[in-house]
Copies of this chain bind each other. A is one copy, B any other.
């Protein structure tokens, strides 16, 4: 069975940077299957990339290599990481972009990639996606062991994300992600959601938690436990971010 590699970047596709990564992988590991996760992360948005990765990395089978290149500090001092997390392999810069996946893994081993023989022979200072991350991913796909890439890391950069706070009959969280449909995704996990509590967004009542989008009239806001297992505020057949004029950081309460 060929190994699968996924790519998540903020490169867009029109410049040919992604294709340069794919070509590099094809030259080293021609049998690997390469999936585009996305190349449309907003330039430099480490946090959105971390959220996107958290939605799919564990869905893939063991042995998959997930590469993430959202790397505003390219060429600077930040380390290159390779990680075994629950038997999937993660490759990316040490800037927090892998931290959501690392946090949610039950098992994790992290190395700082330092061994030059697994990288391009001539490394540019502006395009580590092609010269470092793609070669490392291809080597891992060929079966190179993680421990050969460099020394163990015990202090990866972790994104500090806001946590929901719960008391007996009150939960307070915030919007941490806005998706393509304008849905407002909070940091309140399903475990803290009680059916008889009302949801408030920035102090305005949204109502009780629904089971499906279709329970609300078209154009109305609603709260729901979404496919990430967290509380989401949506507008039926519309965009909650535009209709309700809120975004990342907006206050969400259950009471």
Contact = CB atoms under 8 A, between A and B. Distances in A.
- Chain A, interface SS category: loop
Interface of A: 1, 4, 6, 8, 11-20, 22-24, 26-27, 30-31, 34-44, 48, 51-61, 64, 72-77, 124-127, 130-131, 179-181, 211-214, 224, 226-227, 232, 237
A6 to B, nearest CB: 6
A39 B14 CA distance: 7
Considering the complex of A and B, which 10 residue pairs feature the smallest CB-CB distances, nearest first? Answer: A23-B59, A75-B212, A127-B227, A76-B214, A16-B52, A16-B55, A13-B38, A19-B56, A124-B227, A23-B60
B126 A227 contact: yes
A16 B61 contact: no
Contacts of A72: 237
Given A19-B37, A76-B212, 17 more contacts: A6-B23, A11-B180, A12-B180, A15-B38, A15-B179, A16-B52, A16-B53, A16-B54, A20-B56, A22-B56, A23-B64, A27-B61, A34-B35, A43-B180, A72-B237, A124-B226, A130-B227
